[in-house]
Structure 1
Amino acid sequence: MSFAVKEMLLAVLLLWGLMAPAQAGRHALLIGISDYGDPAIRDLEGPRHDVEALRKVLIGGWGASPGNVRVLLDRGATRGAILGEIEQLAGRVTAGDQVLIYFSGHGTSRYDSTSGLPIPHGSGAYIPWDGIIEGTQGQIMANLLIGNRDLRPRLDQLDRTGAEVLVVADSCFSGNAVRSANLSPTRDFPSRQQVLTITSDPALSGKVGEDVRPPPPPYPYRNISYLSAASDLELAMDIAASLLRQAPTLDSQPHGAFTDALLRVLGGERPADADGDGKLSHAELRLATQALLAERGFQHSPQLLPPAESDPRGQRDRALFATRPAAAVPGNGKAPPLRVALGKGTTALEPLVRQESGMQLVTGGTGDVQVAEEDGQWLLLAGAGDPISRIPAGDAGRALYLLRLHQWVQALMWRQGNANPFGLKLDLVPGERGGNFRYGESLSVRMTAARPVWLVLLDIDSNGGILPLYPNKQAEMNSLAADREIAIHNCAREPEGTDYLIALAFTGHPPLLEQLLGKEKLAFDDPALTAWRTLFADGKDGTAAAVTQIRVIKGEGKCPP
């Protein structure tokens, strides 16, 4: 099974609140490029359907006037036309207006080693209808839409108007498919990066495709939020018509995988109002689309900007809707079982998996966790293809232990998306990394809750070790005041793989909490952990969970001793 990679989908999406002021204007600019003017540029199937689906949502679902929804499709989406339309928007909107700008098409970035272009750090570059892919660096760069050079000045104008804007950017800082080297044995996602043919140009120079990433630049906007489909090291996926049987879309038309997930959440197919307040916040929208993409095996993780550490205005918690829409109905029931797919050479696990009440064996498809044999080892992969861990081939007991761990993690992730009454937040800093960190890159973990709670932070590393990170001393054994932030600083270290950070919140004193003192690792059957797992499995009131992933990727960097 193969999916075409949509190399860039830049979307600036504003969804209108049902209680917006009567005088507020509603404006949309939808841009999609499926057929390019340069015959050397490969066409994409999804963009025209993405644009049409969003147009229907805006007009039919959210009351936009057809006259205020501008569409630039294919040959109408030239570089000049796109920039001109954005400038016109900035000239006619006022404070309180609501704006949508959506761009779907090819793109590249500095981290795209196939492009060889000195695109600025922290900026994507997008190919308009009249873009070219052969020539000197100067010629190709002049025909691109570069975020920092071309879009930033126009968005600054929009920001200064006071119009309310939510930017949904699929692969906004479109990077290399660095995770594609570790794909699932049952699914294949070949890169469709548009290869650029560049001749020598001494006027332009700069190291491109480099391994070291500088810190992300400060977030520049006050009234614009961004929801991107992927981090700067991920590509977004496009579901072509030939693949609709394997990956059906909402309307049975080709779409970007992220856009399809977004439409499903907004339509109520995916529960998203985790705190049950009747509103769908930007943060809840990100969590819901992220979970849906992961479940369907797509290898990119939606990211929300401004990052948590740069959000003094609370833009991440801004509500999309003022009353409860279908999309915001909280979920009910129990977490689904962990779906396990076994590859060739791992059949010894089959009877063990069948005996586990919280697991389901998957045949002929993609599981939440997949086990495959590779070079004399068993490789555990997440559904989206991320490597989890490696163990000696044939070690069924160790494999079952890891599967039980991930069944618990999945149950907590389901709980996070369906019931988070305390406003528990667990964020990685810098947020722009999307959970992808190369060896030696610094990171921080920040957690907080909207009401007084006792907090526990655990790290499940790629080897299955359970490391208690907080509390780890007597002074931390107390409840935390509402909105007090706990920050823990770290560095991405070997080995390559996936760590899960788990925050557990309790309104009452957690049983056996003091047993964490002095422990560097916990066993899965540790009395304290067993008691907490029981509380969460029973769905007890007074508990909440948050989970995030750290994907450690090979690189040249080193952590301090």
Structure 2
Amino acid sequence: MARKALCIGINNYPGTGMDLQGCVNDATDWAAELTARGFQVASLLDEQATKAAMMKAMGDLIGKASKGDTLVITFSGHGTYQPDTDGDEVDGLDEALCPYDLQIQGEALTDDEIHTLFLTRKSGVRIVLISDSCHSGTVTRAAKAEKDADSRPRFMPMGNWLPDKLLPKNRAGKVAATMTGPVGTSPLAAACSNALGDLLLSGCKEGPNNFSYDARIKGRFNGAFTHYALKALKSMKPGATYADWHKAITKYLPSASYPQSPQLVGSTGARKGKIFE
């Protein structure tokens, strides 16, 4: 029974004006922790993490796994929405992760595409997806992030990467300022399968005004969620479950500095599974 992981971290988003600062550190930190726990780890950082490279790396990881294997995929970077094109989203939006070449190629990695990749697994392969990104309801282009800011949301408005002709419109036919995204679930939950024992651990709730923060903590940039998730993990006793871990994380978040509520999504059985086993 093999244990393998893919850790993705993207700070640099060319052409969007929305660069981040803590995502590469996140990926490096997750990789170090998983390696110490006996995982074989691959990483994609910044320009390595194009959409094509992300899909190939996920596809190879999942496609080569065998029954009993545990796979962990971590993503730190921007989340976004894009207009749903196949009619499977009630709210008219697909959730998506933002690859390095988001603006260059004009394509995000959608929840539908991730779900399709997950379905290629062999029976008995367990997948844990850890997402330190966020999904808001904003459509219009956001101002360029302040270079020295201590924190910033990890959300990419559609206006920062999609052309106006593809953006959602209001009743007057003009680009909408906001759209109502789904509320109360977690980013990319649709990509995971309860029936197959998948788990999603994410930095915040989904929907308007819920953010995962890129943060400077003790002089170092990290995702606030990643920083505290790893801190909580170090306090876990042998045999601790994912539910135990999530409970420990919520002792740190939300906080006054980082008002985000981490989410654990999965079946009761998966939530009671031992961490990374």
Tell me which residue corresponds to 1:263.
Answer: 230
- After superposition, the Cα gap between the structure-2 partners of 1:87 and 1:320, relative to the gap in structure 1 and judged at 3 Å, is same
Letter in 2 for 1:169: S
Tell me which residue corresponds to 1:74.
Answer: 46
User: After superposition, what is the alpha-carbon deviation per residue over 1:528-547, rounded to whole angstroms, capped at 9, x for unaligned?
Assistant: xxxxxxxxxxxxxxxxxxxx
The alpha-carbon deviation at position 168 of structure 1 amounts to: 2.1
Within-5 A mapping of 1:360-439: none
Residue 72 of structure 2 aligns to a residue in which SS?
A: strand
User: After superposition, what is the alpha-carbon deviation per residue over 1:331-370, rounded to whole angstroms, capped at 9, x for unaligned?
Assistant: xxxxxxxxxxxxxxxxxxxxxxxxxxxxxxxxxxxxxxxx
User: After superposition, what is the alpha-carbon deviation per residue over 1:137-181, rounded to whole angstroms, capped at 9, x for unaligned?
Assistant: xx73xx111112x111001223x4422222222346x1248xxxx
The alpha-carbon deviation at position 224 of structure 1 amounts to: 1.0
Query: Does the Cα contact within 8 Å between 1:118 and 1:206 map onto a contact in 2?
Result: no
Tell me which residue corresponds to 1:223.
Answer: 197
Task: Measure, in 2, the Cα distance between the counterparts of 1:314 and 1:131.
Answer: 36
Structure 1: which 5+ runs fail to align? 1-23, 111-116, 134-138, 178-187, 241-246, 323-561
Letter in 2 for 1:224: D
Residue 129 of structure 1 aligns to a residue in which SS?
A: coil
Task: Measure, in 2, the Cα distance between the counterparts of 1:77 and 1:192.
Answer: 16
Query: Does the Cα contact within 8 Å between 1:90 and 1:154 map onto a contact in 2?
Result: yes
Query: Does the Cα contact within 8 Å between 1:93 and 1:161 map onto a contact in 2?
Result: no
Is 1:168 the counterpart of 2:130 in the alignment? yes
Q: Aligned match of 1:103 in 59, 69, 75?
A: 75
Within-5 A mapping of 1:458-537: none
Query: Does the Cα contact within 8 Å between 1:108 and 1:124 map onto a contact in 2?
Result: yes
Task: Measure, in 2, the Cα distance between the counterparts of 1:228 and 1:105.
Answer: 12
Query: Does the Cα contact within 8 Å between 2:129 and 2:201 map onto a contact in 1?
Result: yes
Q: Aligned match of 1:156 in 109, 115, 119?
A: 119
The alpha-carbon deviation at position 192 of structure 1 amounts to: 6.4
- After superposition, the Cα gap between the structure-2 partners of 1:94 and 1:321, relative to the gap in structure 1 and judged at 3 Å, is closer
Task: Measure, in 2, the Cα distance between the counterparts of 1:230 and 1:108.
Answer: 14
The alpha-carbon deviation at position 231 of structure 1 amounts to: 0.8
The alpha-carbon deviation at position 294 of structure 1 amounts to: 2.6
Task: Measure, in 2, the Cα distance between the counterparts of 1:213 and 1:54.
Answer: 28
Within-5 A mapping of 1:26-425: 26-36=3-13, 38-59=14-35, 61-64=36-39, 68-109=40-81, 117-118=83-84, 120=89, 121=91, 123-132=94-103, 140=106, 143-148=107-112, 150-158=113-121, 160-171=122-133, 174-176=135-137, 193-195=155-157, 196-197=159-160, 198-201=163-166, 209-211=178-180, 213=182, 220-221=193-194, 222-233=196-207, 234-240=210-216, 247-248=217-218, 253-268=220-235, 279-295=239-255, 297-306=257-266, 311=267, 314-320=269-275
- After superposition, the Cα gap between the structure-2 partners of 1:83 and 1:191, relative to the gap in structure 1 and judged at 3 Å, is closer
Query: Does the Cα contact within 8 Å between 2:4 and 2:72 map onto a contact in 1?
Result: yes
Tell me which residue corresponds to 1:344.
Answer: none
Task: Measure, in 2, the Cα distance between the counterparts of 1:176 and 1:205.
Answer: 13
Letter in 2 for 1:167: L
**Bigger Rg over Cα:** 1
Percent identical residues? 25
Task: Count the aligned residue pairs.
Answer: 246
Task: Measure, in 2, the Cα distance between the counterparts of 1:259 and 1:214.
Answer: 22
TM-score, length of structure 1 as denominator length: 0.40
Task: Measure, in 1, the Cα distance between the counterparts of 2:250 and 2:81.
Answer: 22
Tell me which residue corresponds to 1:410.
Answer: none
- After superposition, the Cα gap between the structure-2 partners of 1:45 and 1:206, relative to the gap in structure 1 and judged at 3 Å, is same
Residue 293 of structure 1 aligns to a residue in which SS?
A: coil
The alpha-carbon deviation at position 39 of structure 1 amounts to: 3.3
TM-score, length of structure 2 as denominator length: 0.76
Task: Measure, in 2, the Cα distance between the counterparts of 1:235 and 1:214.
Answer: 13
Residue 252 of structure 2 aligns to a residue in which SS?
A: helix
Higher relative contact order (CA 8 A, sep 6+): 2
Task: Measure, in 2, the Cα distance between the counterparts of 1:279 and 1:123.
Answer: 36
Structure 2: which 5+ runs fail to align? 139-149
User: After superposition, what is the alpha-carbon deviation per residue over 1:473-500, rounded to whole angstroms, capped at 9, x for unaligned?
Assistant: xxxxxxxxxxxxxxxxxxxxxxxxxxxx
The alpha-carbon deviation at position 213 of structure 1 amounts to: 4.3
Letter in 2 for 1:263: L
User: After superposition, what is the alpha-carbon deviation per residue over 1:444-485, rounded to whole angstroms, capped at 9, x for unaligned?
Assistant: xxxxxxxxxxxxxxxxxxxxxxxxxxxxxxxxxxxxxxxxxx
The alpha-carbon deviation at position 296 of structure 1 amounts to: 5.8
Task: Measure, in 2, the Cα distance between the counterparts of 1:212 and 1:53.
Answer: 31
Query: Does the Cα contact within 8 Å between 2:154 and 2:213 map onto a contact in 1?
Result: no
Query: Does the Cα contact within 8 Å between 1:29 and 1:102 map onto a contact in 2?
Result: yes
- After superposition, the Cα gap between the structure-2 partners of 1:253 and 1:314, relative to the gap in structure 1 and judged at 3 Å, is same
Task: Measure, in 1, the Cα distance between the counterparts of 2:73 and 2:65.
Answer: 13
- After superposition, the Cα gap between the structure-2 partners of 1:255 and 1:191, relative to the gap in structure 1 and judged at 3 Å, is closer
The alpha-carbon deviation at position 220 of structure 1 amounts to: 3.1
